[in-house]
Amino acid sequence: MGDKDIKQIMVDGYPVGIIGLDEAIEELSDRLKDAPDEEIEKELLERLMKRNYIPQSAKERYGKAFVREFKKALGMSVEEEGAASIDIKVLGPGCPQCDRLEQALMEVVAETGINAGIQHIRDVKEIARYGVMGTPALIINGDVKCVGRVPPKSQLIGWLKDAS
């Protein structure tokens, strides 16, 4: 599997890499070109969930994004998904704490339906540009919210609701 097997799409305003999307679209395009969206969504989800992690709570949103990409590939006009309204950055080299914070944020965004993009910055030089002295660090819309800890989900929800 090379980089060509991964396609970046927008799901809830967040860029997500999907393995095998182009291949699945190519295989299904003739058979499903006139099918209803629900059937296209079901087929693509079924195929792509085998090779990609798709949270159960976000399954419907991924399905809609897959249908959008399917239609674009067939040359149909579709409405593009806009960028996220909340910019979230997790700063950390990829330690268990940093990964836990990123995972908690993804769960909160999926559960609440808040339109946010999450970016995990792992490069030490890039992290230093933010002036934080510990990791993980959480930045929401340019404001440092916490450093050196993983806050509880209730606090994450509060910060994201305040930002939206």
Residue 81 lies in a domain: no
- Cα torsion 44, 50, 53, 54 to 10°: value is 30
Is the domain of 66 the same as that of 99?
no
86-125 pLDDT, tens digit each: 889 999 998 999 999 999 998 898 888 888 888 898 888 8
Is the domain of 28 the same as that of 68?
yes
Average pLDDT over residues 6-27: 86
- Residue 146, SS3 per DSSP: strand
Is the domain of 22 the same as that of 58?
yes
Average pLDDT over residues 133-151: 93
pLDDT of residue 3: 44
Domain limits at 59? 3-73
Please report, for the domain that includes residue 112, its CATH number: 3.40.30.10
Residue ranges with strand state E in the chain: 6-11, 14-19, 86-91, 116-121, 137-140, 143-147
Is the domain of 105 the same as that of 140?
yes
Is the domain of 55 the same as that of 117?
no
CA distance 102 to 34: 39
Is the domain of 62 the same as that of 113?
no
pLDDT of residue 16: 83
Tokens of 141: 């819309």
Choosing from 73, 98, 114, the residue where a domain stops is 73
Q: Quote the number of domains for the chain.
A: 2
Is the domain of 67 the same as that of 93?
no
Please report how the helices 59-73 and 21-32 are oriented relative to each other, as an axis angle in degrees rounded to 10.
70
Q: Which residue has the higher pLDDT, 85 or 56?
A: 56
Is the domain of 17 the same as that of 63?
yes
Residue 2 pLDDT > 70: no
Is the domain of 100 the same as that of 62?
no
21-57 pLDDT, tens digit each: 999 999 999 999 999 999 999 999 999 999 998 988 8
Residues 6+ apart with CB under 8 A from 46: none
Is the domain of 40 the same as that of 97?
no
Residue 121 lies in a domain: yes
Closest CA relative to residue 110, chosen from 93, 91, 88: 88
Residue 78 lies in a domain: no
Residue 133 pLDDT > 70: yes
Is the domain of 91 the same as that of 155?
yes
Output b/e per residue, 108-144; b: 16+ Cβ within 10 A: bbbebebbbbbebbeeeeebeeeebeebbbbbbbeee
CA distance 62 to 48: 10
Average pLDDT over residues 119-135: 89
Q: Which residue has the higher pLDDT, 7 or 20?
A: 20
Choosing from 24, 39, 73, the residue where a domain stops is 73
pLDDT of residue 4: 53
